[in-house]
Amino acid sequence: MIYSRITGTGSYLPGTPCSNADLIARHGLDSTPEWIVERTGIHSRHLAPAGVAASDLALEASRNALAAAGKEPNDIDLIVLATSTPDYIFPSTATILQDKLGMSNGAAAFDLQAVCGGFIYALSVADKFIRSGSHRRALVVGAETFSRILDWSDRGTCVLFGDGAGAVVLEASDKPGVHATALHADGRYRNILAVPGHLHGGQPTGDPFLRMDGQAVFKFAVKVLAEVAEEVMAAAGMTAEQVTCLVPHQANIRIMHATAKKLRLPVEKCIVTVDHHGNTSAASIPLALDEAVRSGKVGAGDTALLEGVGGGFTWGAAIITL
């Protein structure tokens, strides 16, 4: 039986932290640092400087993950990169990353778009490629420059997001690794979180900024995250007691704590980086996982429950042993 296993993690945050006070002053927002902290748990976020693209963030995160796994870029035979803020309409950010990594081995590479659910989707897809025997060593990346799609006059959304990237090396193994994953989507909810614009004749058409019904998203997230976590634990034949840590999508501390409570997991088991990352969409889970690994909060043999939810709506979970 072939399984997949994470053998290295890496992440990257651009620039210096931008505090709530700095953001409010920079954009003249009708808000306060206290409101943002109380309603979201966010104190600061990183914003990519002009000219820095998702592939640049992905490159640094990937180099860190490869170094942790003791692998060279040409050892990789599959890149799955989750992003909703790609460098270009095409080619994919995955192939741009492949070039920037100096790869020349013809590895498969593609982007995957499931917004904040993107990393779980990418991990699940790469796991299935490896379990099938078609590929042996994948780079799974979440990379975002959400600051590029924010309306800085909309205080209800622009304070929530940040930029960054996280990556893992996923290798074939005779032991799991990834025990189980679960993926879901429901397009009926596509309008509660969207960037409802596109390019037409060289011009943006529609609305090119992120729009969100925050309360609807909040309720949806709490409901499906608990459900999908239960589903994936059942699929793996595991219980909450066996979970060393919960690595949820980092959108709002209140969503994370509500989910942990529903799962009867102590909040201390919840990895929290939203306070200094903000919501980095597809990058948030691998960023949080890498921070937890590098700080020694989790390590070899620990079992982590990863879960994400985002525009589409998409949601999913994975249960892994490191």
Return residues touching ligand UT7 (CB under 6 A).
Answer: 31, 35-36, 39-40, 116, 155-156, 159, 193, 214-215, 217-218, 221, 251-252, 255, 279, 310
Which position's Cβ is nearest ligand UT7? 214
Closest to 271 measured CA to CA, from 236, 238, 301, 307: 307
**For this structure, is 74 an active site residue?**
no
Close Cβ partners of 22 (under 8 Å, ≥ 6 residues apart): none
Give the tokens for residue 94.
């995955």
Closest distance to ligand UT7 from the beta carbon of 60 (Å): 23
**For this structure, is 245 an active site residue?**
no
Please, which residue, 3 or 218, has the CB nearer to ligand UT7?
218
Closest distance to ligand UT7 from the beta carbon of 320 (Å): 21
Closest distance to ligand UT7 from the beta carbon of 92 (Å): 22
- Residues 41 and 161: their CA atoms lie apart, in Å, by 12
* DSSP 8-state class, residue 97: H
Closest distance to ligand UT7 from the beta carbon of 59 (Å): 24
Please, which residue, 64 or 157, has the CB nearer to ligand UT7?
157
Please, which residue, 4 or 252, has the CB nearer to ligand UT7?
252
- Residues 304 and 298: their CA atoms lie apart, in Å, by 8
Give the tokens for residue 237.
């034949």
Closest distance to ligand UT7 from the beta carbon of 193 (Å): 6
Please, which residue, 84 or 92, has the CB nearer to ligand UT7?
84
The one catalytic residue among 249, 252, 270, 277: 249
The one catalytic residue among 64, 116, 158, 252: 116
Please, which residue, 8 or 162, has the CB nearer to ligand UT7?
162
Amino acid at site 50: A
- Residues 248 and 231: their CA atoms lie apart, in Å, by 15
Amino acid at site 6: I
> How far apart, in Å, are the Cα atoms of 10 and each of 19, 98, 125, 197?
24, 16, 19, 32
Provide φ and ψ at 45, rounded to 5°: -150, 165
Q: Reply yes or no: is the peptide bond before residue 266 cis, omega within 30 of 0.
A: no
- Residues 298 and 303: their CA atoms lie apart, in Å, by 8
Could you list the active site residues?
116, 249, 279
